[in-house]
Amino acid sequence: MIHTLPVYLLSNMRRDRLAADMFTVVANCILMQWTTQSIALFASSIFRGFPQASMFANAISLFLTMSAGFSLTHVPVWLRWLRWLSPTFYSFRVVATTQFKDRTFSCEGVTGVQLTQCDGNNVLRGLDFTLGTPLIVWFAAEIGMIVVLYTLAGLIMHFYKPGGVKHAPGRGVDSRGKESMLTGDMDIVRARIDVEVRNVSFKWSRSGLPFGLASPVEKQILSGITSVFPAGQVSAIMGPSGAGKSTLLQLLAHRKLNAGPGAHFSMTGEILFNGKAASDDVQNSVAFVEQEDEYHLSALTVRETLRYAAILRLPPKMSRKRKISRAEEVLIMLGLKDCANVYVGGPLMKGISGGEKRRLSLAVQMINDPSVLVVDEPTSGLDSFIANNVMQCLKDIARSGRTVIVTVHQPRSDIFHSFDNLLILAKGGHAVFSGRRERAVAFMESQGYPLPSIWFNPADHLLDLVSVDQRPGKMGDSRQRVEGLVEFWDAHREKQDMANEREKSELVSQPLVPESRFTPMYIAFPVVWERMFRNLWRQKEAFWGRLIQGPFTGVLLLAFYERLTFGPTAGQDRIGLNLQSTSAIPFVGLISGIAVFPQDRQLFMHEYRTSAAYSTTTFILAYSLMEIPFQFLASLLYTVFMNIAVGMQTSPRIYFEYAVTIWALHSLGESIAVIFASFFDAMGIAVSLVSTALSMIVQMSGILSLAVPFVLQVIAWGTPLKAAQRMQFINECQGLQFHCSASDITNGICTAQNGEQLLQLYGFIDRNTAKLAGIAVATAICWRVLGWLALTARMARG
């Protein structure tokens, strides 16, 4: 509705029966969307990977749109039957019937045979419509298509189960995650850093809006927390959901927190490292392991992932050989040797197990040999064996002198017993207990809350005590209990002596951290480019999809246009070809970008927040230089089909100008994917917004519609589409002659007798095609710069 209502009114569609016609057009648009969705569902029931499914769905849509007789008047006989399967065919009939049926246009000054075109019913007859067919028939056909496509998709998904997930090569399935962990560098002496939080309070607030439109809001996230996390031990922060565990962890790791628009955070209290406020050096010794492991590139092996991480994270002055040997050390230390040559894997390719992935994330952070390791939910989503394995790994890391701080929501009993220290938080970020783990149960008992039985999981017991029970009748008591515990701890925390648990801390070695957080471009660029390319090369569907999708679109268009003729409809056919061959390409770029970019961006964003950071410029440059060869090759091949095989006018100059503008359009689509993927994680939004935006740009570009308001004409130069369409059209029309008989001319079939007349019709006076190709390339580059700016803005937001 948001799309159709403004389009209906702005494009001045029929007003004499406004309510009825507008309702019909909106209903038709909804059904059309639904049919398109069912095509997408059908495509993804056959191909379960995004690159193939989107390519297939795109091909079906193009096929069905072309066969509808809308943009191409002469559909080849062997493809004409396809119109009965085309939602566009039915939809076109609904819209054209509402606009032309029983309507007479004023047509001032028009005389003779042309007058026939002023009668709407004649226009419909000219389009080969049967006037007597009620609209309900076309609607029923659209609904029928939806039912058929949903049924087909359902049947295919029921009977065809390709497994969805492929197993990565490198190892048998049974041994995943079960190998024992070796510890490699546990005897290394390193900086021991005790971490201490002193009376830390943290508040989120948003100021109100003028005129009372929104009142100010405040939320206390942490309330006067005091605790010590000693070196050489595993300390866990426990508490119910929303108690502030992750927030505290992020503060300890010096992560930038995003408060959202119009809001900010404020902190009081101190976070101390060995008793001093954190200096840059010390901050660099803190590594943060996020809960999310999905940022690893799926088609790299564990060893490759660690090697690239070592090159990016270790100081530039360290030799490459030494960096690689550090990656091997960490590989052994984290017990990943057995799966060193297995692909990491992702949603569509089973690689290493969940536990191994967690250990890989730990390993990546351990590359710099940090003194403090901060880990968010290390065991969530893992089965008991693997969770224990990961905890053992963290214990070993702690025993080598590092400070390990983890958050846990509700640990199992065995996991609970592997913690040395515990900080228990209640809702509102209040501490309820902080100290040795084994004292926690006794402390609660002293408060009148003994463990119900020796078989009871102490973690469950502690968590129950600090949670407010939301059930009716239970809330009052449980709230009172939690408030009592908070008050008691506040009043007595000074007496809780944790200092005696600490071993003597001293700074004995420097961690392997680079001087600057940012890896210089000369080191980062080749590594990031090579890593992206290798990852893409191993994902054959995405790799070939990127290369083939454009030329494949060319083959489809060739099937419809066959060889261009010089008969009476030659002008319309060329207009249609120009429109289709240019407007399809940004989608090809968009789909290629969506298949690859989000994964690369996720890793970039992760690394940006750590010691592996490299600039947005490095990343966008590496990404662009990785995709440009594909785009060029695909554009050159596409041009063979469109410019040569279909029978357009050609020469070396025309061929290259055509290919260059196709590249610009392809690049536009990829840049749009970059812009959207910088802000949204759900790329579906990008596809739907972009398709609307692109169809508007196609309408503004001056080939589909002659009467475009001046402002929109100017806006249309903002994308390469306008320059590309104009350049291709000029090259095709110059010197072209059509064969039109006298009757073809009088009955209006022959819109133009030669190319020159077509160019005059469109008012294309400046015929400098090289200049137009240059404009297309320049605008494409501007769009990539916009992509870079979008990502830079996102990174600045945190």
Ligand X SMILES: Nc1ncnc2c1ncn2[C@@H]1O[C@H](COP(=O)(O)OP(=O)(O)OP(=O)(O)O)[C@@H](O)[C@H]1O
**Residues binding ligand X: what is the number (CB under 6 A)?**
15
3-state helix, strand, coil in the chain (%, to 5): 55, 10, 35
Which residue is associated with the tokens 């029931």?
Answer: 45
Query: Are 637 and 544 within 8 A, CB to CB?
Result: no
Residue in this structure with the two tokens 């029970």, named with its chain if needed? 469
Out of 29, 195, 221, 498, which residue is the one contacting ligand X (CB under 6 A)? 221
Residue 245 or 402: the one with the smaller Cβ distance to ligand X is 245
Which CB atom, from 220 or from 757, has the smaller least distance to ligand X?
Answer: 220
**C-beta of residue 667 within 8 angstroms of C-beta of residue 673:** no
CB of 464 to ligand X, least distance (A): 15
Least distance to ligand X from the beta carbon of 410, Å? Answer: 9
| Nearer to ligand X (CB atom), residue 261 or residue 473 | 261
Q: Which is nearer to ligand X, 249 or 775 (CB)?
A: 249
Q: Which is nearer to ligand X, 243 or 585 (CB)?
A: 243
Closest contact distance (angstroms) between CB of 676 and ligand X is 22
Strands 195-206 and 263-273, bridge-based pairing: antiparallel
Check binding of 357 to ligand X (CB under 6 A).
no
Q: Pick the closer one to ligand X by CB: 323 or 430.
A: 430
Q: Which residues of 3-13 are buried (b: 16+ CB within 10 A; e: fewer)?
A: ebeebbeeeeb
CB of 573 to ligand X, least distance (A): 57
| Backbone phi and psi for residue 681, each to the nearest 5 degrees, phi listed first | -90, -30
Contact 267/578 with Cβ under 8 angstroms? no
Amino acid at 569: T
First-last CA distance in the chain = 35
Helix (H, G, I), strand (E, B) or coil at 682: coil
Smallest distance, ligand X to C-beta of residue 561, A: 54
CB of 480 to ligand X, least distance (A): 21
User: Of 243, 591, 596, 733, which one interacts with ligand X (CB under 6 A)?
Assistant: 243
CB of 259 to ligand X, least distance (A): 5
Question: What is the rounded CA–CA span in Å between residue 22 and residue 95?
Answer: 10
Is 219 among the residues that bind ligand X (CB under 6 A)? yes
Nearer to ligand X, 247 or 368 (CB): 247
Query: Which are the contacts of 496, defined by CB distance < 8 A and separation ≥ 6?
Result: 434, 435
Which x/- pattern, by CB under 6 A, does the window 359-398 give for ligand X? ----------------------------------------
Instruction: Output the smallest distance, CB 306 to ligand X, in A.
Output: 28
- Interface pick for ligand X out of 87, 177, 239, 755 (rule CB under 6 A): 239
CA distance 581 to 728: 10
What's the closest the beta carbon of residue 258 comes to ligand X, in angstroms?
6
**Cβ nearer to ligand X, comparing 244 with 435:** 244
Provide the H-helix boundaries in 467-569.
475-492, 521-538, 540-561
The contact mask relative to ligand X for 183-212 (x = CB under 6 A, - = no) is ---------------------x--------
Nearest approach, Cβ of residue 377 and ligand X (Å)? 8
Nearest C-alpha neighbor of 646 from the set 735, 563, 586, 535: 563
Chain centre distance of CA 387: 30
Q: Name residues contacting ligand X, limited to 244-263 (CB under 6 A).
A: 244-247, 258-260
The reply on whether position 554 binds ligand X by CB under 6 A is no
Which residues touch 89 (CB under 8 Å, ≥6 apart)? 64, 67, 68, 69, 70, 83
Question: Segment contacting ligand X (CB under 6 A): 170-178, 234-242, 600-608, 694-702?
Answer: 234-242
CA dist 562 and 106 (Å) reads 39
Report how far residue 341's alpha carbon sits from residue 796's, in angstroms, rounded to the nearest whole number. 36
Q: What are phi and psi of 447, to 5 degrees?
A: -90, 5
Residue 265 CB, nearest approach to ligand X (Å):
8
Q: Which of 6, 162, 169, 242 binds ligand X (CB under 6 A)?
A: 242
Residues 737-766 that bind ligand X (CB under 6 A): none
Q: Are strands 195-206 and 217-229 parallel, antiparallel or unpaired?
A: antiparallel
In angstroms, how far apart are the furthest CA atoms of the chain?
106
Smallest gap from Cβ 461 to ligand X, in A, equals 18
CB of 680 to ligand X, least distance (A): 18
Q: Which is nearer to ligand X, 125 or 409 (CB)?
A: 409
Please identify, using beta-carbon distances, which residue of 290 and 329 lies nearer to ligand X: 290
Please report whether residue 411 would count as binding ligand X according to CB under 6 A: no
Smallest separation (angstroms) from ligand X to the CB of 273 = 21
Span near ligand X by CB under 6 A; candidates 237-245, 396-404, 410-418, 466-474: 237-245
According to the binding rule CB under 6 A, does residue 91 interact with ligand X? no
What the block records as the tokens of 42 is 């059908």
Q: Which is nearer to ligand X, 62 or 423 (CB)?
A: 423
∠ CA 146-149-150, rounded to 5°: 80
Shortest Cβ distance from residue 425 to ligand X (Å)?
7
Using the structure block, give the residue that is written with the tokens 């261009």. 564
Among 106, 130, 180, 241, binds ligand X (CB under 6 A): 241
482 lines the binding site for ligand X (CB under 6 A): no
Query: What letters, b where the CB count within 10 A reaches 16 and e where it falls short, cover 596-615?
Result: bbbbbbbbbebbbbbbbbbb
Closest separation in Å from C-beta 358 to ligand X: 17
Candidates 146-154, 238-246, 411-419, 739-747; binding stretch for ligand X (CB under 6 A): 238-246
For residue 104, which of 11, 25, 8, 14 has the smallest C-alpha distance?
14
Task: Report how far residue 710's alpha carbon sits from residue 624's, in angstroms, rounded to the nearest whole number.
Answer: 34
* Neighbour-count burial of 135, counting CB atoms closer than 10 A to its CB (0-12 exposed, 13-18 middle, 19+ buried): middle
Task: Identify which range of 208-216, 239-247, 471-479, 720-728 contacts ligand X by CB under 6 A.
Answer: 239-247
Residue with smaller CB distance to ligand X, 248 or 524: 248
The token duo for 71 is: 């943009």
Rama region for 649: left / alpha / beta (φ>0; ψ in -120 to 50; rest): beta
Is the Cβ of residue 146 or residue 221 nearer to ligand X in the bound state? 221
**Least spacing, CB of residue 243 vs ligand X, in Å:** 4
Nearer to ligand X, 605 or 749 (CB): 605
Stretch that binds ligand X, among 236-244, 447-455, 475-483, 738-746 (CB under 6 A): 236-244
Under the binding rule (CB under 6 A), the answer on residue 798 touching ligand X is no
Q: Which two tokens stand for residue 427?
A: 């809702």
| Complex with ligand X: residue 245 or 726, whichever CB lies closer | 245
For residues 783, 662, 44, 688, the Cα torsion angle rounded to the nearest 10 degrees is 40
Q: Any contact of residue 409 with ligand X (CB under 6 A)?
A: yes
Q: How far apart are CA 295 and CA 5, in angstroms?
A: 41
C-beta atoms surrounding 271 within 10 Å: 17
Q: Which is nearer to ligand X, 241 or 470 (CB)?
A: 241
Neighbours of 471 (CB within 10 A): 7
**Minimum distance, C-beta of residue 393 to ligand X, in the bound complex (Å):** 22
> What distance in Å separates the CA atoms of residue 230 and residue 580, rounded to the nearest whole number?
66
In this complex, which beta carbon is closest to ligand X, that of residue 164 or of residue 242?
Answer: 242
Q: Which is nearer to ligand X, 260 or 476 (CB)?
A: 260
Contact residues for ligand X, defined by CB under 6 A: 204, 219, 221, 239, 241-247, 258-260, 409
